[in-house]
Amino acid sequence: MSTSTSSGRARLRDVLPQLQLGKWPTGELNSITDVPGVLVHTQSIRPDADVNTGVTTILPRPDWFKYSSHAGIFRFNGCGELTGSHWIEETGLLTSPIVLTTTSAIGDGHRGILEYAFRYHANDEGEMGLFIFPVVTETFDGFLSDQSRFAVTPEHIVTGILNAGSERVPEGNTGGGTGMICHRFKGGTGSSSRVVQGFDAAGDPKAYTVGVLVQANYGSQENLHIGGVPIGRIIKSKKASGAVLPEDTTAKEARKDGSIIVVIATDVPLLPIQLQRVAKRATVGLAKVGGYGNNTSGDIFLAFSTASKIPFQELSMAPGTSLTKDPYRPRPRAIEMLDDDSINGVFEAAADATEEAIYNALCMAESTTGFKGRTVEALDLDMVKDIVGRRLDVL
């Protein structure tokens, strides 16, 4: 088996309780699953030392197979894949679970979503009428996991859809983030949420939630910042001076500069164009931590809203079947949309939750020895307390 070791891992708020990460409070779980109806499942696949990979499955709503969600995409740097993106950009509709995995498993993720649909939603004639464009995205875990093993299978995706739940998302070396590296430390899966007070369409007070899940696999050590403190550069300087033990030399081997996938969920009633704007704000959170969108980094952000339930487009291959809606006779649908003049809090919440989700991925991840005996160390939380904590105490 591969080796993961790091004692006393904790989320950043537990490591640095004095650190202020924006002005908006977190949800109860401080996780993407604080958004009502959003369900998540993580699977780590580690049969031996050479394989450290996995799958994260997000269901936008429990009845995702009946109702689409409004969605928007922003590509900060496009060295990566997000299947189904053409349809999302064309219609503004998310018609699928969201699967985050490794680069070599894009096809397995795509097939797995369809296998689930045929297995559980086919009619007696074996035909499946769900209008689905599978949404599967990836980051590259080939430094710690042997890509040639193709360890992820469609069955893992079926399992993820069936078992997705509303509990706090496990972080660090979990799900699609199992083998990922962030700022040259062990990275992976992280999540966070924010609650923004506002009003409903009738003018009554209402609390809205913005939740974020990241698969963090990008960046150089010297660019890592926590709370504005250049901790990566400080740690690197300490190592160079011999103040701490030197890093494992395998971490210096040449490799692709990762990627980061950011999924933003919210119950704010947003149109697709507004969700594109919210997705862009993930860039602010990424930049605060130290992401620059380097040439070989796939920095792809997807935002969706659960507020409007859009019935799936009718699809039938049975001859003589008549549709309940005539596609040639326009029919309006009543939906709510947020007043753009009141959207700034949502922008800030998305940025702040993205920043904290990346921190949680770093702080919860464990040191890992994997493919070819390569070792990637976890971020030293005692050093985080010492370096960042001392600077916060003097502010």
Q: Where are the beta strands (DSSP E) in the chain?
A: 3-5, 39-45, 53-59, 67-78, 93-94, 98-102, 135-139, 181-182, 185-186, 188-199, 205-217, 259-266, 298-311, 367-369, 375-376
- Residue 18 pairs in a beta bridge with none
Question: Which pair of tokens denotes residue 326?
Answer: 């005539």
- 68 pLDDT above the threshold of 90: yes
The pLDDT tens digits of the residues spanning 280-305 come to: 999 999 999 999 999 999 999 999 99
The set of catalytic residues is 259, 297, 299
The pLDDT tens digits of the residues spanning 11-43 come to: 999 999 999 999 999 999 999 999 999 999 999
| Phi and psi, residue 350, nearest 5° | -65, -40
- 53 pLDDT above the threshold of 90: yes
Q: What is the pLDDT of residue 129?
A: 85
- CA–CA gap between residue 111 and residue 106 (Å, rounded): 9
Q: What is the pLDDT of residue 307?
A: 98
Q: Which residue has the higher pLDDT, 12 or 251?
A: 12
Strand order in the sheet with 298-311: 93-94, 67-78, 298-311, 259-266, 205-217, 188-199
- CA–CA gap between residue 250 and residue 237 (Å, rounded): 18
| Phi and psi, residue 274, nearest 5° | -70, -35
Rg (CA), the chain: 21
**DSSP strand pairing (298-311 vs 259-266):** parallel
| Phi and psi, residue 287, nearest 5° | -65, -35
* Domains in the chain, CATH or no CATH each: 3-313+334-379 (3.60.70.12)
pLDDT band per the 50, 70, 90 thresholds, residue 255 = low
The pLDDT tens digits of the residues spanning 188-235 come to: 999 999 999 999 999 999 999 999 999 999 999 999 999 999 999 999
